[in-house]
Every structure is written in structure tokens, then in C-alpha cells.
Amino acid sequence: MAIVSVFAVALSYLESAALIYLRNIFPITSRAGVSAPSQANIWKSLPYVALLKPSALLTVLPNSKLAHMEMWRGAAAIVVIVCMAWLVGSNLKNRTAFFLYIFGVWNIAHYVFLRLLSGWPTSPSSKDVLFMIPGPSVAAVWVPVLVSAAMIAVGIFILKREEH
């Protein structure tokens, strides 16, 4: 468990640093997470989360090339997490538990590193663009942190049950 935790935190640092580099290299028309999306950009509104229309990403990122790069960067991180879970797990249930655990640690560490490296998020209620696949979604930072904590707990629960 220690090795997958170190992996998740290290991957999170790489992702956070890459995001900060991208924000500094490319001109971003409105910093992701500063304000709530307009009603015209919302595809579906769920409790505490707004699923945006794919075109809404272009209101944050200046061009479609950069938007696609961001989508695939996020997808690549998920693929890396799936691969690690596959390598350390011994069956589907075990691998799923490891995925939940790694993803949860990775996501929480991501916000910790963003705060340490850039000063953002300024509070748990800061809005953030979460995932771009299948389309962008926006929520207060506490939402993905809470979901990630639940993923960690479920992952640990499944792994402990498998041990016995």
C-alpha cells in the first residue's frame, strides 16, 4: 500500500506542476475555477456539480488545440492509474479497489500541491474545472475532495476484506 501511495502522490505532483506550467505558458482567458459557469454553458446541473457543454471549455482555454491537449492529459493520467492498479492487483475486485485508492490519493494530493505551488485553491469552496471527458464539469473543490476521500475509504475497505 505504501508504494501505491507514493506513486499516487508523485503522479499528482507531476500533474499539478504540468497544470501550473500550462497556465503560465498559454494565455487563459479566464482562470479555471474563478467563477461559476454561465447558464448558457451548462448542459446538466447536478447537486454541487455542473456538467458543461463541450464548447464551454473554449471559454476557459483559448483554442481547441489546447482544449484537446488538456482532455488527453487528463485521460493519460487515468490510464496511468488504471495501469498501476492492474499491476498491483491480483483480480478484478482487487484492481478496482486499488484504482479507487490510487485515484483518491492522487486527486486529493493534486489540490494540496496546487495550493502549495500556486496558492490556489484559496478555499474549499473555490470552483474548479474537474474533468474534460466526456465534457468539462465544474464544482467547488470540496466536492472532488469528498468523493476522493470516499473512494479511498471504499478501496481500503475492499482490500482489507480481501485480506481476510
Indicate the range of 4-13, 58-67, 79-88 predicted with least confidence: 58-67
* pLDDT grade for 131, boundaries at 50, 70 and 90: confident
Q: Which of 29, 95, 87 is nearest to 63 (CA)?
A: 29
Query: Is 99 or 57 the better-scoring residue by pLDDT?
Result: 99
User: Is pLDDT at 30 greater than 50 in this prediction?
Assistant: no
Mean pLDDT on 72-91: 95
* pLDDT grade for 33, boundaries at 50, 70 and 90: very low
User: Is pLDDT at 58 greater than 80 in this prediction?
Assistant: no
In angstroms, the first-to-last Cα distance of the chain is 16
Query: Is 132 or 128 the better-scoring residue by pLDDT?
Result: 128
Q: What are the phi and psi torsion angles at 136 (to 5°)? A: -70, 150
Q: Supply the pLDDT for residue 9.
A: 97
Say what percent of the chain tops pLDDT 70.
89
Mean pLDDT on 155-161: 97
Mean pLDDT on 135-139: 83
Domain with 21 in it:
2-163
The CA distance from 152 to 74, in Å, is 20
Q: Supply the pLDDT for residue 49.
A: 87
Look at the chain and report how many structural domains it folds into. Answer: 1
Mean pLDDT of the chain: 87
Q: Supply the pLDDT for residue 153.
A: 98
